[in-house]
Structure 1
Amino acid sequence: MKKSNYYWLAAGIVLIAANLRLPITMIPPLLPWFKTNLGFPTSLSGVLTTIPLLIFALLSPLVARWGVRRGNVPVLLAALAVMTIGGFLRIIPSSAVLIGGTILVGIGIAGGNVLLPAVIQEYFPLKTAVLTSLYTTTMGVVAALGTGVAAPLAQGTNLALSMGTLTCITLLAFLVWLGAFLKTPRKRPQPPLKSSSKTEKSSSLWGQPLTWMIAFYFGSQSLLYYSLLTWLPSYWLQAGFSAGLTGILATVFQLSGMPLSLITPLIARTKAGMYGIVLFVGASFVVGLACLVSFQQNFAVNLILAFLMGSAPAAAFALAIVFFQRKTVNITETVQMSGIAQSCGYLLAAVGPTLTGLVKGCTNSWGLIFGAYVVLAFLEALIGFLIIGHRPLKIRA
């Protein structure tokens, strides 16, 4: 394949990564406009962020199968087309169309979430760490910037222009990936295996303990990240911080993970580096959560805690991507592992914020909630150590 073709693929990978969180994180700041312009009920606001997470959980295994059979590059192109259509549909001033467009966006993101790690490993086997760093960092940076500019854009212009401007990033990703698709040599789709159902079951990653350990690791970091992203602002407001200071703390929480997203795949090239990352993630979660209740009204301390709790899930997410790549021995298994782990992970992520709200409503105790998070962080670290010590899977002879 020509060198220029790799540039198209690399640019496409970065642009796809830019769209894996942005369509979700841009929504919460725009909720007041949805209520005013569309009459969208406040009680249903959480649906707009929960829908994509549930779709990720449901479709990830199917996307993995499609990628194996049809090829990762064409399936990603189809996913981007669906995401672009859904994004522009959300501009139409209708609550029903908004929900429908969000469903399409979720379908598109599911494709990128599952297949992008495998594409990196397939086409850049010697640059996996570097491309994974760019992928995870771009995803976080663009998501944070989108969160910051969505509301000012809507206030300065209107809701449709704000959403349309941010959706143009998805359109750009589609166009660049179309170029990559046209320049990338076609690979023959893999036909379904002709082996018996028993053989298929025995060769499946679903029956491997390592698969479930990686799924738990990905799921626990997803649950902690989305739960904290949803509820930390409410906690800080209740603790007595002003809306302005709460906004600063929430911004630090989102942006603090950027350096870790960049360096984690590079550090994780060695087993010692992976152990260090797992230890850092566990310690950051435990210290951050344990100290929240003790230093409720100290802004400086909460600033540090926000930094720690924002860094931890970013490092854990990047390490989970490394696990997909390093604990499998071929592209097919990487795609399957990614699909299974993300299916379970995003199901937990969808449940986490809702369950946190129910516990808060029933007990009115942040201490109980943060204590449960600490236990989960301990378990996540333990499972992380076990994953690192486990040999890569070798399913098929």
Structure 2
Amino acid sequence: MSVTRAQQPVAIPTVRTRTRLAHPALFLAGIVLVALNMRACLAAVAPVLGEIQRTFHLSPTASGLITTVPALFQGVGAPLTPRLTRRFGTERVVLGAVLTLGAGVLVRVLPSALALYLGCVVIGVAIAVLNVSMPGLVKREFPDRAAAATGLYSTATLVGATLAAASSVPLEKALGGGWQASLGAWSLLAVVAALAWLPQVLRSRQAAGAARTGGTGGPAAPAGRPIEGIWRSSLAWQISGFMGVSSLLVYVLVAWLPTILADHGMDRGEAGLVFAFSNLLQVAGAFLVPLLAGRMTRQSGLAVAMAAMNAAGIALLLLAPVSGAWAAAAVLGVAQGGSFGLALAFIVLRTNTPAGAARLGGMSQAVGYLVAASGPVGAGALHQLTGGWTVPLVLMLGLAAAAAVAGWGAGRNRTL
């Protein structure tokens, strides 16, 4: 497969004129509402994880699976998404995935440990489909502003996570139904997103009908062929590695940060606030870093900076888990949000066509989330084995160094 220098933006030809951009506000509103769902149902778990453990008498390792299973099935489901979008169209696939996500949220709160994990499977597959579909949509609709649009999408994803983390315990108290009511309430957000996305589905059907009768004006068909031999590309593996290791660090702390702080003596309510604060600052990183990346020819230094900030935040948790918690949360928030946004930006910056972005997105997210899936359960198992959090955090420091190496390669001025 070929890798070329990306000195200038590559114009993306289209088979027919796009009409969706005649209503950019509606399209962006749909993207934002869909993205709000993509981490909210995961981030809502951490503040109530202790109660879930007590309800089903779960060990720390089994509790880690609540976060690991969705990540694992994100990796499993990602390679299948391009086939679905080619067969049914991206708009319909996104709508189906959002509705499936809402159903998974409801299954997860049924009174059974089996249903808990089954719901996690459904959630993981639905998020996988959305993860892979979105970069292709962004590349198709905003070929000249893909990095900025990616920043908006990644920001919305983390805003959803922040809202969920901050409101999980208050919702539990307000609804009076325990953790089940708190987690189940997020299915309503999926319904709102599905309703907002429905006009895009109707528009794509109208465009398809016009194309069959010889009309024009439908959404642009992805130009060019999918990338061949992507699994043999060192650049694709570096992008996948950066996404995978960065996601692993995020998933470990999504699963365990409040517990780590509480185990060191912090009040559970304050631990939840620290976690929410970290998620809030992820929003800033997810918005600003892709914007910076889009203005740079090389993003290697930016990727290394994100990895270094991750390492600094983890070191603070090791050295001062309570007194340094807020500072660690601030550094980790910017670093993790920035790493997430940059990993998504790499998908559109390192490809020239929507079809290429979809193919690279499928690979990078398959590899990335399979790597990330080992994080929460691995950290839980090490905590159970050693009786503390020192060993898991030290290993995370080493993984931050690995992210720096992968990010340096992923940030080179090349396209697939």
Q: Same fold (TM over 0.5)?
A: yes
Question: For residues 244 and 19 of structure 1, do their structure 2 counterparts lie closer, same or farther at Cα, with a shift above 3 Å needed?
Answer: closer
Are 1:150 and 2:173 matched, yes or no?
Answer: no
Are 1:53 and 2:82 matched, yes or no?
Answer: no
Question: For residues 90 and 291 of structure 1, do their structure 2 counterparts lie closer, same or farther at Cα, with a shift above 3 Å needed?
Answer: closer
Are 1:118 and 2:143 matched, yes or no?
Answer: no
Equivalent residue letter for 2:400: A
Equivalent residue letter for 2:336: P
TM-score by length of 1: 0.86
What pairs with 1:98-177 in structure 2 (closer than 5 Å)? Answer: 98-159=116-177, 161-177=181-197
Structure with bigger RCO (C-alpha 8 Å, 6+ apart): 2
**In 2: Cα distance, 1:32 partner to 1:216 partner:** 31
Q: What is the root-mean-square deviation in Å for CA atoms of aligned residues? A: 2.8
**SS of alignment partner, residue 299 of structure 2:** helix
Do 2:314 and 2:396's aligned partners in 1 also have CA atoms closer than 8 Å? yes
**In 2: Cα distance, 1:305 partner to 1:127 partner:** 33
1:135, distance to aligned residue in structure 2 (A): 1.0
Equivalent residue letter for 2:333: G
Corresponding residue for 1:341? 364
Equivalent residue letter for 1:182: L
**In 2: Cα distance, 1:366 partner to 1:162 partner:** 28
Do 2:147 and 2:348's aligned partners in 1 also have CA atoms closer than 8 Å? no
Moved more, 163-172 or 135-144: 163-172
Corresponding residue for 2:254? 229
1:31, distance to aligned residue in structure 2 (A): 4.7
Of 43, 47, 56, 1:40 maps to 56
Corresponding residue for 1:197? none
Do 2:65 and 2:377's aligned partners in 1 also have CA atoms closer than 8 Å? no
Moved more, 384-393 or 80-89: 80-89
Question: For residues 362 and 207 of structure 1, do their structure 2 counterparts lie closer, same or farther at Cα, with a shift above 3 Å needed?
Answer: same
1:218, distance to aligned residue in structure 2 (A): 0.2
What pairs with 1:360-371 in structure 2 (closer than 5 Å)? Answer: 360-364=383-387, 366-371=389-394
1:22-59, Cα deviation, whole Å (9 max, x unpaired)? 122223444566578xx534344443322211110111
Corresponding residue for 1:257? 282
**In 2: Cα distance, 1:380 partner to 1:101 partner:** 30
Question: For residues 89 and 311 of structure 1, do their structure 2 counterparts lie closer, same or farther at Cα, with a shift above 3 Å needed?
Answer: same
Corresponding residue for 1:302? 325
Unaligned runs of 5+ in 2: 1-18, 209-218
**In 2: Cα distance, 1:161 partner to 1:286 partner:** 36
Corresponding residue for 1:330? 353
Equivalent residue letter for 2:376: P
Moved more, 58-67 or 114-123: 58-67
**In 2: Cα distance, 1:117 partner to 1:176 partner:** 19
**SS of alignment partner, residue 194 of structure 2:** helix
TM-score by length of 2: 0.82
Aligned residue-pair number: 380
**SS of alignment partner, residue 216 of structure 1:** helix
Corresponding residue for 1:268? 293
**In 2: Cα distance, 1:35 partner to 1:240 partner:** 19
Moved more, 78-87 or 208-217: 78-87
**In 1: Cα distance, 2:102 partner to 2:314 partner:** 38
**In 2: Cα distance, 1:4 partner to 1:95 partner:** 47
